[in-house]
Each structure stands twice: as structure tokens, then as C-alpha cells.
Amino acid sequence: MLRQAFWCCCLIVLVLSLPPTGGSDMDLSGFWGKVQISAIFAALTVLGLIAYPGSPRWVVIGLIAMGLLIELIQSFAPWQYAEPDDLLAVMTGIIIVRVVWVVAFRR
């Protein structure tokens, strides 16, 4: 059940990150936008680490790859634009959770 929830959340994040920039009231280009992106990927990381406790390395690599894929797709979409800072925000959220996870659970 947790694995399905993890993949469903990943799909939702992927789909919601691709609409035209003018179609949303959310501004993810400023500082708080980066904090939101980090929080989203931090939550995905927690869910992924719980769903796949034996594969933390692959959860981290997969989520970073997902963030990179989102940025690549946005760079080719005429209604979107890619920001390297977004990928940095993605990695920050993932790494913070992973470090806390290692310290808390000694894995």
C-alpha cells in the first residue's frame, strides 16, 4: 500500500509541475517557491524511504532523477522554463531528509 502511495504521489508531482506557468497562482520562482519545492521532495523522500526501507540509495537517486526529468521537460515546453535553482531545491529537500534519516535510524 505504501509503495502505491509513493508512486501515486510521484505521478501527481510530475503532472502538477508541467502546466503552463501562467495557469497557477503559485509563484515558485522566489525563495519561498524553492522552499516549497524542497518540502515537496522532502515529503516524497520520507514516503519513499518508508515504502522502500531496503533501498534508500535508489530512492534518493530516483527522486533526484525525477527532479532532473521535470527540469528537462520544462526546458523544452514552450510554456515553461527550467531553473537550475529548482534542481538545487529538489536535491536540498532530498538530502536533508536522507541525512536526518541516517542520523535518526543509523542506516
pLDDT at 35: 93
Q: How confident is the model at residue 82 (pLDDT cuts 50, 70, 90)?
A: confident
The answer on pLDDT for 50 being more than 90 is yes
The answer on pLDDT for 100 being more than 80 is yes
The answer on pLDDT for 23 being more than 70 is no
Report the pLDDT averaged over residues 45-72: 95
How far apart (Å, rounded) are the C-alpha atoms in residues 25 and 10? 22
Report the pLDDT averaged over residues 23-34: 68
Phi-psi region of 30 (alpha: psi -120 to 50; beta: other; left: phi over 0): beta
| Whole-structure pTM value | 0.86
How far apart (Å, rounded) are the C-alpha atoms in residues 54 and 107? 10
Where do runs of H (alpha helix) occur along 25-83? 31-51, 56-76
The answer on pLDDT for 87 being more than 70 is yes
Distance of CA 46 to the CA centre of its chain: 11
Q: Which residue has the higher pLDDT, 105 or 3?
A: 3
